[in-house]
Amino acid sequence: MEKYTKSYKIAAILLSVLLFSSCSDISDPKNVKAYKLEAAAATSVVHKTEPDEQPEDDTQEAEIIIQTDFTTTAGEAYSEAFITTVKPETSETTFPIQTTPEEILTADVQPTGEVTTTTALPETTAAAAPVETTEAAAPGTTAQTTAAPAGTTAAAQADGKTYNVIGQNSILVTYYNGHYMGIMPCFGTYTLCETWAKNVDRFAKELPGVAVYNMVVPTSSEFYTPQAYWDSGFTTKQKNKIDHVRQNLSAAVKDINVYDTLEQHKDECIFARTDHHWMPLGAYYAAEVFANEAGVDFPPLRKYDSVVRGGYVGSMYTYSKDVHLYNDAETFTLYISPNADEIQTTYYNTAFANGYKGDLFVSRNAASFYCSFLGTDMTIAKIETNVKNGRTLVIFKESYGNGLVPFLTSSFENIYVCDIRYFDLNAVQFCKDVGATDLLFAVCTYTAAGGNGNYLKQILG
């Protein structure tokens, strides 16, 4: 167990890097590279959806792309040639299972009468993080990894159907439902859950008349970790932390339970296999739960134009260096809002100044994958829609919250999107100044149960 504890501390340092990244890995866009691999697939296809049309099977062919930090410029440079128009896809379409998570934390502590403290992790980079469990593996080679817990196989079988390895930076790579996936463990403390709830309550107290909502999103380790790795202590149950946050919120805050919905859809493509984020489909299901609770309109998935792009390989490969992820790229589906051409998006710096017009979908061909909407976390985005219901929504989030935004443009008249890690103003005053009627906190478990939640206290002033 001591071996795994040390390994997970390394993973916690890695998380501190991911938390400071924009929507995916951090690197200069100049370093984004496209790799052509034998039998790789990656074409971007646009699905123009109309009501009552039935889904048809589509195939994607093309090239594989390693995602580091995609921006509009870097993405569009290689994307345009791969666009074709195909038959529409509807919400009845099912997807192969995929996975992967976001930010990581400290030891799991059961709630007691004692005070629990958490040592802050030093700022670091992926290159600086100590690696005791693996050596980097170039594509086409095999990484040196630690042994798997008892009851699992540390190397792929000849048929490729059994594979469980903890690679670099304590990322588990497993084989599940026909594909490899990278899984990052999730920890946290109950004391930090209580702190998160307390700070959300402060917003509700200081903003009377504003509907305040809290959404904590589980990450993929919750649904796809092999049993042997639960038994070994590789990760802990996020549901316990999410429930603890809910139990400590006052009646002034409406908790949005997306856990049950995501669990029901876990055999669909709701999490990335090769990246630490969820997929837009998972965000769609969560946004629907929120919209129903908020009492606003919410279009069915068939109303969205979907753009499908293969060749998605993200941060889980970047940090694990496991060649199996590299060679098993996944498909990313971007959903374009039904009113995308009728909304106006203005991006500001983190002090809400120097605004400039832009597109919510900075890469409508999905070339930037998870960064195809909003593009970066280090701005404040104002979205003016064609909805006329007098509702103004402010979202305080980290990168998980980004996925919700494209699905709420038909639900609110105005939306302001602010990242708690980069926000430079008094958040309560900001909500007053923009006339917020609704306030949503949307983060993953790593934030609500961990040190990243301290940003919420900072922006309270």
pLDDT in tens, 184-221: 999 999 999 999 999 999 999 999 999 999 999 999 99
Mean pLDDT of 137-159: 37
Answer whether residue 30 shows pLDDT above 50: no
From CA 289, how far away is CA 280, in angstroms rounded?
14
Mean pLDDT of 236-264: 98
Query: Into how many domains does the chain fold?
Result: 1
Q: Is residue 251 part of a domain?
A: yes
Q: Is residue 266 part of a domain?
A: no
Q: Is residue 180 part of a domain?
A: no
pLDDT digits (tens, 9 = 90+) for 333-345: 999 999 999 999 9
pLDDT digits (tens, 9 = 90+) for 349-404: 999 999 999 999 999 999 999 999 999 999 999 999 999 999 999 999 999 999 99
pLDDT at 154: 40
From CA 317, how far away is CA 171, in angstroms rounded?
9
How sure is the predictor about 14, in pLDDT bands with cuts at 50, 70 and 90?
Answer: low
pLDDT at 48: 53
**Do 180 and 331 form a contact (C-beta atoms < 8 A)?**
no
Q: Is residue 210 part of a domain?
A: yes
pLDDT at 64: 36
Q: Is residue 296 part of a domain?
A: no
Residue % of the chain over a pLDDT of 70: 65
pLDDT digits (tens, 9 = 90+) for 298-319: 999 999 999 999 999 999 999 9
Q: Give the full edge-to-edge strand order of the sheet including 164-166.
A: 164-166, 172-176, 179-183
Q: Is residue 99 part of a domain?
A: no
Q: Is residue 344 part of a domain?
A: yes
Mean pLDDT of 52-76: 32
The structure's pTM equals 0.74
Answer whether residue 297 shows pLDDT above 70: yes
What are 426's two structure tokens?
């008094």
| CA dihedral of residues 84, 87, 90, 96 (deg, nearest 10) | -70
**Do 337 and 406 form a contact (C-beta atoms < 8 A)?**
yes
195 vs 107, higher pLDDT: 195
- The boundaries of the domain holding residue 401 are 190-260+339-460
pLDDT digits (tens, 9 = 90+) for 274-290: 999 999 999 999 999 99
pLDDT at 162: 77
How sure is the predictor about 91, in pLDDT bands with cuts at 50, 70 and 90?
Answer: very low
Q: Is residue 54 part of a domain?
A: no
Mean pLDDT of 153-165: 58
